[in-house]
Amino acid sequence: MSIWSPAPAKNWESYYPLGSGRLGAMISGDTRENTIVLNDDRLFSAPRNHRVNPDAAAHAAKVRDLLFAGKVIEAEELAGPTMFPAPAKQANYEVLGQLKIRNRYVDYFEKPVNYRRTLDLDTALYTQEYTGRQDGHTFEAFTALEDHALYGHFTATNNVLALNFTLTRTEERYERVNRLDDHTILISGHSDGLHGRHFGIKLSVFAPSGFVTVYGNTIVVSEAHDCWFRVTSAVVPTSDPFYPDFAQQVPVTASTYADVKAKNITAYQALYQRTDFSLPDDPALAQLPTADRLARLKKGAETDPGLIVTLFNYGKYLLIASSEPGTHAANLQGIWNQDLTPVWGSKYTININTEMNYWLTGPLNYDAQEKPLVDLFLLAVDRGHDTARTMYGLAGSVIHHNLDIYGDGAPQSTTMSGTLWPMGGVWLANELWRHYQFSRDEKLLTRIYPAFKELAAFYNAFLVKDPDGYLAAAPSVSPENYYVVDGHYIASLSYGTTIDNSLLREFYGALIWMARHLGKDADLLIAWQKVLDRIRPTAIGPDGRIREYVHDYPEIDKGHRHFSPLYGLFPGDEFTTPELKAAARKFIDYRLKHGSGQTGWSLAWVINLFARLGDGEAAWQAINRMFTQSTQDNLLNSHPPFQIDGNFGFSNAIAEMIVQSTPTEITLFPALPAAWSTGHLTGVRTRAGVILDIAWANGYLTECTIHGDLPAAVPVHLAPQYLDPNKPNPLEKEGHDHG
C-alpha cells in the first residue's frame, strides 16, 4: 500500500514524510533540486525557565471569588494582568536544516517523463524515478529506526550521476561548517534564544564508481553510476560542551546499505503489521495517483474505500515514524516542521491535540510508541510542582493547556480562552490510564501512579465549593471557547465547566482504582472519594443539549471547533444513559449545523463521537468529509496549516467504528456503515484484555477469533442483523455468544 504522485511536490505540504521517531525528513522529489527538510525532535528554542506571573498567587483566590459572585468582567480584568504568564510563550520546535540535492544534468526546459514518487507504507521506503533527455535516475530513501539516520541511494539510468549535495538551514541559520573527511561534512549552530540548544548535521556521501569532492557545505558527485548518502544529527543542551555525538561510521556501500535497509524493514513491519484493516478497493481507482483520488472526492464522488484504508494505515506509519522509545512525544506536527517559528510552536497542546495523537496506541497495540508520552507526562508533573506553588500557593502539581520539550506547563500565551485552563495534566493522566486499560501493563501503572497522586494533591486543595455546593475548578475555561456576559462582553473565564468535571470524575475514579489495585495509600481513599462525590454532574440545558458551563450563557461561536463538553462521551466513558447520549447528539448536530468540524482534528473527534453514539452512517459521512476538506495531497491532515492529530484521530475512529470495549464488555460493529458491507480488521486490542481478528462479508460477521483469555463474565455484544441466519454463529465457535 502506498501514496504516490506522477509529479514532484509543489510545496512543503505535498512533500512525503520519513521518520525514525527522532529524525524526520520531508522529501520534495524535485528532479532539478530535490529538497529534503530535516528535523530532530530535540531541537527546540531556548527554555523560558520560570514564566509564572509573580502576582498570580496573591490574586487567584480573588479572581475565583469574583467568578462565584457572577462578576465575570471584573474577574477577567483582574486575571489578565495578574495571572497571564510573563514571558508569555514556551519554547518552540525548530527546523533542523535542509539537504538540497541538485542535479547538474537536468534540462530546465524539459519536463521529466515516466516520473513517479512513492511512499510505500508497507516498507517505510521512499522511491523516486524519472527519465530526462540527458539524464535519469532512481532514488530511494528511508530513515532507520535503530540509528536515527537518513539513508539514500541514487542509481543512474541514463548517463551518469552529476549531483551536488548541499547542507544548509533556513535563513542560513547555522554557524560553522567542518570537513570531517573526504566524503563527510558537518554544519552546526544553535537554536533561538540566549541559551539555545546546540545542533549538528552530518552528511556523508559515497560513490565508489565515481568521484566525490567536498567544497564548503557541498559534496559534489561526478561520473558515478551509483551513490549512497547518510545524514545524522546531534542536539545537546547549551549547558553541555558541544561534542556532537557522531560515532565513527563505516562507509555506506551497496552491501551495508542493503543490510541496514533489510533490518529496518523487518523492525518496521513488526510494528506496522500488528493490525490489518481491509475494505474492497476499486481496481480502477487503485491505479490513480493519490491526489487524483482526493480530487475525485472533492468533485462529488461519494466515497473511496481504498483511500479510507490507506489513511488508516498512514496513521500507523506516522506514529511509528514520530514516536519511538527514547525519543520525544509526537508534537502538533509529529516531527515534521519547516519553520524556525512554526504556528502554535509545533509543541504540545494538551487540551485535545496531544492526547488525540495517542488515542490509537491502545486499540492498535502500540505500547512502545506511547512511552514518549509517558516520559513527557512525568517530566511535566515534576515541573508542575513549581507552578502549583508559585502560581496558586498550593502543594502538588498542575499543568495548563500547553507543554514544551522541557515540561513547562505554566500558562501559555495571553489568550483568556486557552491560557488559564488548569486541567492539562488531568487529561494527560486520563489518556495514560486508558492506555493501561488496553495494555494491562503493570510497569506502566507503577510508573504513573505517583504522578497521579501529585496531581491529586493539587486538586484536593484547588477545588473549592461553588455557590451551589459542588467542588469546582476555578478559575478555568471551556477550552478556547467564548460566551457573552451582560449582553456585550465576550468572556471565557468560568468555573466548574462540564469538561473539567468529566475529567476530574474520570481521574479520581482511576486514582482510587489504582490505589486499591496496587495496595497503596488506603489512608487517602476516603479523601479522594469525597472529592469524587462532590463534583457537579453533567447537566442538560433547556434546549436539550449538553450544557457547557454552569450557566446557560449566550454563545459567540455556535460552530466552535472544540467538543469539550462531550469528553464524557468520547474519549471518556461516562455518557451511558439514553438521555445523555441524546443530549450529546443534539450538541454535535448543533455545532456541525453552524460550521464546526472545519479543522482536521475537530472532524476526527466528530467521527469518534458518532462512533461512540453508534451512528455508523454519520461517522461515514464525516470520514468522507475528512478527505474533501481536511486532507492534503500527501494525506497529511490540515488544520490548516498541517497538524498531525487528525491523522491519528482518524485511525482510532476506524477501530472505534468496528470494535468498542470497556474492561467489562465488548461490542462488535457498534457503528459499521452500510457501505462497508465486506471487510476485516485483525489485531485490534480491547480493554477486556483480549485481541480480536474480525471479518465480515455481505453485512454478516464471518469470523471472530479471540486471542487471549476472555472472562466468561465479559459479554461480546453483536446486533442480530450482523448474523447470517443460514450459517453458524461465529461467536458460538469462540464460546461467547452473548448477543
Checking if the pLDDT of 739 tops 60, the result is no
Q: Are residues 501 and 521 in the same domain?
A: yes
Residue 404 is given by DSSP the state -
Domain boundary among 250, 272, 294: 272
Residues 6+ apart with CB under 8 A from 200: 186, 187, 188, 233, 234, 235, 242, 244, 246
Q: Given 272, 297, 330, which residue is the final one in a domain? A: 272
Q: Tell me the mean pLDDT in the region 669-688.
A: 98
Same domain, 213 and 284: no
Compute the average pLDDT of residues 690-705.
98
Residue 109 has pLDDT above 60, yes or no: no
pLDDT beyond 90 at 131: no
Q: Is residue 332 part of a domain?
A: no
Burial of residue 423 (CB within 10 Å: 0-12, 13-18, 19+) is buried
Which one-letter DSSP state was computed for residue 360?
G
Q: Is the pLDDT of residue 736 over 90?
A: no
Residue 241 has pLDDT above 70, yes or no: no
Comparing CA positions, the residue from 210, 202, 186, 204 lying closest to residue 137 is 210
- Answer yes or no: do 298 and 388 share one domain: no
Looking at the structure, tell me whether residues 172 and 138 fall in a common domain: yes
Residues 565 and 700 in one domain: no
| Distance from C-alpha of 122 to C-alpha of 266, rounded to nearest angstrom | 10
Give the model's confidence band at 245: pLDDT under 50 very low, under 70 low, under 90 confident, else very high.
low
Name the nearest CA neighbour of 493 among 192, 1, 92, 65.
65
What are the tens digits of pLDDT across the range 422-447?
999 999 999 999 999 999 999 999 99
- The arithmetic mean of pLDDT across residues 649-656, rounded, is 99
Residue 248 predicted with pLDDT over 70: no
Is pLDDT of 198 > 80?
A: yes
CATH code of the domain containing 124: 2.70.98.50
Residue 604 lies in a domain: no
Q: What is the CATH number of the domain that holds 564?
A: 1.50.10.10
Which DSSP category does 601 fall into? Answer: H
CB 529 within 8 Å of CB 513: no
Say yes or no: 201 and 299 in one domain: no
Decide if 640 is inside a domain: no
Same domain, yes or no: 545 and 448: yes
Q: What pLDDT band is residue 172 in, cutting at 50, 70 and 90?
A: very high
CA distances from 480 to 246, 456, 592 (A): 44, 24, 17
pLDDT at 243: 61
State how many domains the chain has.
4
Q: What is the DSSP string of 17-66?
A: EEE-SSEEEEE---SSEEEEEEEETT-B-------S-TTHHHHHHHHHHH
Closest CA to 452 of 394, 502, 384, 498: 384
Q: What is the dihedral of CA 657, 438, 703, 647, to 10 degrees?
A: 40
Q: Using an 8 Å Cβ cutoff, are 497 and 563 in contact?
A: no
> What pLDDT score does 49 carry?
83
In a domain, 325, yes or no: no
pLDDT surpasses 70 at 1:
yes
What pLDDT, on a 0 to 100 scale, did the predictor assign at position 420?
98
Residues 398 and 492 in one domain: yes
Which of 549, 572, 596 finishes a domain? 596
In a 10 Å sphere around its CB, with 0-12 CB exposed, 13-18 middle and 19+ buried, how is residue 698 labelled? exposed
> Are the CB atoms for 496 and 505 separated by under 8 Å?
no
C-alpha distances in Å from residue 396, one per residue of 8, 11, 392, 454: 53, 47, 10, 5
- pLDDT tens digits along 307-337: 999 999 999 999 999 999 999 999 999 999 9
**189 and 77 fall within a common domain:** no
The set of residues, in sequence order, having a beta carbon less than 8 Å from that of 730 and lying 6+ positions away, is 701, 702, 703, 704
pLDDT band of 251, cuts 50, 70, 90: confident
Q: Is 539 left (phi over 0), alpha (psi -120 to 50) or beta?
A: beta
**Is the per-residue pLDDT at 734 higher than 70?**
no
- pLDDT at residue 375 in the model: 98
Residue 735 — very low, low, confident or very high, per pLDDT cuts 50/70/90? low
Least reliable range by pLDDT among 248-262, 340-354, 364-378: 248-262
- Please choose, from the candidates 70, 88, 55, the residue with its C-alpha nearest in 3D space to the C-alpha of residue 416: 88
Report how far residue 60's alpha carbon sits from residue 53's, in angstroms, rounded to the nearest whole number.
11
pLDDT band at 157 (very low <50, low <70, confident <90, very high): confident
Confidence of residue 531 (pLDDT cuts 50, 70, 90): very high
Provide the domain limits for residue 284. Answer: 280-305
595-652 pLDDT per residue, tens: 988 889 999 999 999 999 999 999 999 999 999 999 999 999 988 789 999 999 999 9
Structure confidence at residue 137 as a pLDDT band (50, 70, 90): confident
Q: Provide the 8-state DSSP code for 118.
A: E
pLDDT-derived band of residue 526, with 50, 70 and 90 as boundaries?
very high
Q: What is the pLDDT of residue 641?
A: 80
Domain shared by 119 and 187, yes or no:
yes
Q: Which residues pair with 155 in a beta bridge?
A: 138, 226
Residue 50 counted as domain residue: no
Mean pLDDT of all residues in 2-21: 97
Is the pLDDT at 110 greater than 80, yes or no? no
pLDDT value for 244: 60
Residues 161, 73 share a domain: no
| Cβ atoms of residues 647 and 637 within 8 Å | yes
Mean pLDDT of 452-464: 99
In the sheet that holds 659-662, the strands lie side by side as 659-662, 665-668, 716-717
Residue 319 located in a structural domain? no
Question: Which residues share a beta bridge with 349?
Answer: 402
Question: What is the pLDDT, as a whole number, of residue 112?
Answer: 78
- Residues 495-522 have pLDDT tens digits of 999 999 999 999 999 999 999 999 999 9
In this structure, the answer to whether residues 189 and 210 fall within a common structural domain is yes
pTM, full prediction: 0.97
Establish whether the linkage from the previous residue to 244 is cis, with ω within 30° of 0: no
3-state secondary structure 637-685: EECCCECCHHHHHHHHHHHHHHEEEECCEEEECCCCCCCCCCEEEEEEE
Grid coordinates standing for 739?
A: 448477543
Residue 611 lies in a domain: no
